[in-house]
């Protein structure tokens, strides 16, 4: 009897031990297998990308330095300071300006007023100025979005401005609470040429949590040619769980939105220095209906220069085989201005590899294959810049930008330039 009792106790003990062992084995296999699988996937993606970028780069047309100043020359008409970061009063720092033409042929500039400190994560107000005389005079500041005295990180970030020419509406898309566990994508508009602005709409649910991005500083586009004529396109960078860029699309004049092309950084999370991390992006449409995007190369992937991406399907995809690094467009990791008009692509940005200084305007007459050395607009410290032109004026281009002498954002200024075209193509 005692033996039987002992044997059954032994069996029970063995069964318990087996179960414990099984649990430990399942746990260990999961731990060992899971990271191995995801690591090898990442490495493969990384390799593909590396090869594709290299191929695109090698196949790109040879850049020539002899095409300088052919066809176009620029001269400054005037230069006006719109905001000054005097560090006085409630809002003493201004940064990240955006600019657009309006449906009635005027100009609207919006910038971030930063309360308390210059850091990105503090409460802000968005402030608007308009010009109805080709940039000669500007209205007083009007505040349209105000974070009040909210806590650290619970704040708004500019943002992409764009105009729907069909409905004569100006939009500003921006992100709220970018570094909170839940971020929101917001859209505010004006239907009276920028005089008054409505309440912000929360469009987070249109896009879905995983694609909520920071609409990049600069302007969005409305497609003027097929494919997807009339579509509104905003390029954004960064996600709640990783890095990279995404195109946000609307085919009903800004009422509903969805995501199109998505280009993750590699690796997606905590991208190290030297790896592929496309950041702030500025799209332009070319006459063939393709979209050409100039992208900040945040982790200095293979050069201190811009990444270029292209879409041939209205922003649904950005094929890897058309990505390249534009070594002519050196940058100190920054937002740049890009504008295309009548055969000329304009580009603005600091012509340096690391320091935010020496702001140049440059241009290309072969869709960005080769660039002129350009003209220096501000020789001292300078930061973000953006460009626009008025619809009824083919002769002037406007640049809004951060500049200074103590810091690169002492002031936000607008420079108006006259475009002169010459037919003398032998001039160099
Ligand atoms: C925006 O909508 C999302 C999803 O419905 C929500 O989680 C978020 O709190 C909203 N944000 C704001 C600022 O209202
Ligand atoms: C424009 O703003 C108004 C007022 O806030 C809002 O009712 C309308 O839905 C907005 N339109 C779009 C397309 O976002
Ligand atoms: C477009 O550029 C050409 C030179 O390439 C010039 O002759 C023409 O006047 C320009 N058209 C407009 C509308 O600016």
Write out the two tokens for 108.
């609207």
Active centre residues (catalytic): 120, 384, 402
- Convert the pLDDT of each residue in 92-124 to its tens digit: 999 999 999 999 999 999 999 998 788 888 899
Cα-to-centroid distance, 204 and ligand 1 (Å): 6
pLDDT band per the 50, 70, 90 thresholds, residue 427? very low
| Residue 78 within any structural domain of the chain | yes
Q: Name the DSSP letter for residue 273.
A: T
Instruction: Tell me the CB-side half-sphere exposure of residue 207, using CA atoms within 13 A.
Output: 31
| Residue 342 within any structural domain of the chain | yes
Q: Which ligand is nearest to the CA of 389?
A: 3
Section 231-249 average pLDDT? 98
- Predicted local distance difference test score (pLDDT) of residue 176: 97
| Residue 40 within any structural domain of the chain | no
What's phi and psi for 153, nearest 5 deg? 80, -25
Closest Cα partner for 295 from 267, 272, 261, 270?
261
pLDDT band per the 50, 70, 90 thresholds, residue 326? very high
Distance CA 281, CA 219 (A): 10
Distance of CA 247 to the CA centre of its chain: 10
Distance CA 122, CA 82 (A): 22
What's phi and psi for 32, nearest 5 deg? -75, -40
pLDDT band per the 50, 70, 90 thresholds, residue 18? low
Average pLDDT, the chain: 88
The CA-atom distances, in angstroms, between 341 and each of 151, 258, 289, 365 are 43, 28, 13, 10
- Convert the pLDDT of each residue in 279-319 to its tens digit: 999 999 999 999 999 999 999 999 999 999 999 999 999 99
Section 188-199 average pLDDT? 98
| Cβ < 6 A, ligand 1 pocket | 176, 182, 184, 202, 204-205
Distance CA 231, CA 250 (A): 6
DSSP H or E stretch at residue 36: helix 2-59
Distance CA 213, CA 121 (A): 16
| Residue 63 within any structural domain of the chain | yes
pLDDT band per the 50, 70, 90 thresholds, residue 48? very low
* pLDDT exceeds cutoff 70 at 16: no
| Residue 423 within any structural domain of the chain | no
Q: What is the largest CA-CA distance in the chain?
A: 114
Q: For residue 6, give every residue at least 6 positions away whose Cβ sits within 8 Å of its Cβ, in sequence order, or none.
A: none
User: Which of 186, 194, 201 is the best mutation target for the ligand 2 pocket, counting ligand atoms within 8 Å of the beta carbon and taking the most?
Assistant: 201
Instruction: Tell me the CB-side half-sphere exposure of residue 339, using CA atoms within 13 A.
Output: 27
- Predicted local distance difference test score (pLDDT) of residue 50: 44
The protein residue with its alpha carbon nearest to ligand 3, atom 9, reads 421
**Environment class of residue 412 by beta-carbon count within 10 Å: exposed (0-12), middle (13-18) or buried (19+)?**
buried
- Predicted local distance difference test score (pLDDT) of residue 54: 44
Q: The domain that contains 373 carries what CATH number?
A: 2.120.10.10
Distance CA 284, CA 122 (A): 31
| Residue 10 within any structural domain of the chain | no
* Total domains, the chain: 1
Quick check: CB of 393 below 6 Å from ligand 3? Answer: no
Cα-to-centroid distance, 397 and ligand 3 (Å): 14
Q: Which ligand is nearest to the CA of 162?
A: 2
Question: Hunting for tokens 């304009």 — which residue is that?
Answer: 346
Minimum-distance ligand 1 atom for the alpha carbon of 202? 1
* pLDDT exceeds cutoff 90 at 53: no
- Residue count (the chain): 428
Q: For residue 353, give every residue at least 6 positions away whose Cβ sits within 8 Å of its Cβ, in sequence order, or none.
A: 304, 330, 331, 332
Q: For residue 201, give every residue at least 6 positions away whose Cβ sits within 8 Å of its Cβ, in sequence order, or none.
A: 186, 187, 188
| Residue 41 within any structural domain of the chain | no
The CA-atom distances, in angstroms, between 198 and each of 63, 159, 191, 201, 352 are 47, 16, 9, 9, 40
pLDDT band per the 50, 70, 90 thresholds, residue 26? very low
Which residue segment(s) compose the domain that 223 sits in?
Answer: 58-418
| Residue 34 within any structural domain of the chain | no
Quick check: CB of 200 below 6 Å from ligand 2? Answer: no
Section 61-87 average pLDDT? 75
């Amino acid at each position: 009897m005692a033996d039987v009792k002992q044997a059954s106790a032994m069996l029970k003990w063995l069964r318990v031990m087996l179960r414990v062992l099984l649990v430990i084995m399942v746990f260990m296999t999961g731990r060992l297998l899971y990271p191995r699988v995801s690591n090898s996937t990442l490495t493969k993606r990384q390799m593909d990308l590396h090869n594709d970028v290299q191929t695109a780069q090698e196949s790109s047309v040879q850049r020539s330095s002899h095409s300088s100043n052919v066809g176009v020359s620029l001269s400054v008409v005037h230069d006006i300071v719109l905001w000054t970061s005097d560090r006085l009063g409630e809002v003493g720092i201004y940064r990240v300006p955006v600019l657009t033409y309006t449906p009635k042929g005027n100009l609207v500039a919006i910038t971030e007023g930063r309360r308390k400190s210059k850091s990105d994560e503090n409460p802000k107000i968005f402030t608007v100025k308009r010009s109805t005389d080709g940039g000669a005079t500007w209205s007083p500041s009007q505040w349209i979005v105000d974070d009040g005295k909210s806590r650290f990180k619970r704040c708004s970030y500019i943002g992409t401005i764009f105009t729907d020419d069909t409905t004569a509406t100006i939009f500003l898309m921006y992100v709220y609470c970018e570094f909170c566990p839940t971020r929101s994508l917001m859209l505010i508009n004006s239907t009276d040429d920028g005089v008054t602005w409505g309440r912000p709409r929360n469009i987070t649910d249109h896009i879905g949590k995983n694609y909520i991005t920071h609409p990049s500083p600069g302007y969005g586009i409305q497609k003027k040619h097929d494919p997807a004529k009339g579509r509104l396109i905003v390029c954004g960078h960064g996600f709640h769980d990783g890095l990279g860029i995404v195109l946000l699309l609307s085919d009903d004049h800004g009422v509903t939105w969805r995501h199109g092309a998505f280009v993750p950084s590699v690796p997606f999370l905590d991208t190290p220095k030297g790896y592929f991390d496309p950041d702030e992006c500025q799209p332009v449409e070319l006459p063939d209906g393709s979209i050409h995007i100039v992208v900040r190369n945040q982790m200095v992937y293979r050069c201190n220069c811009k990444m270029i991406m292209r879409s041939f399907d209205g922003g649904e995809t950005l094929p890897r085989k058309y990505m390249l690094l534009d070594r002519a467009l050196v940058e100190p990791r920054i937002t740049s201005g890009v504008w295309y008009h009548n055969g000329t692509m304009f580009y603005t940005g600091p012509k340096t590899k690391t320091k935010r200084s020496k702001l140049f305007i440059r241009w290309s007459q072969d869709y960005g294959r080769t660039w002129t050395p350009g003209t220096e607009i501000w020789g001292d410290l300078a930061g973000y810049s953006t460009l626009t032109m008025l619809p009824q004026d083919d002769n002037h281009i406007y640049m809004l930008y951060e500049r200074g002498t103590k810091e690169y954002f002492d002031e936000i200024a607008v420079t108006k330039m006259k475009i002169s075209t010459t037919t003398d193509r032998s001039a160099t």
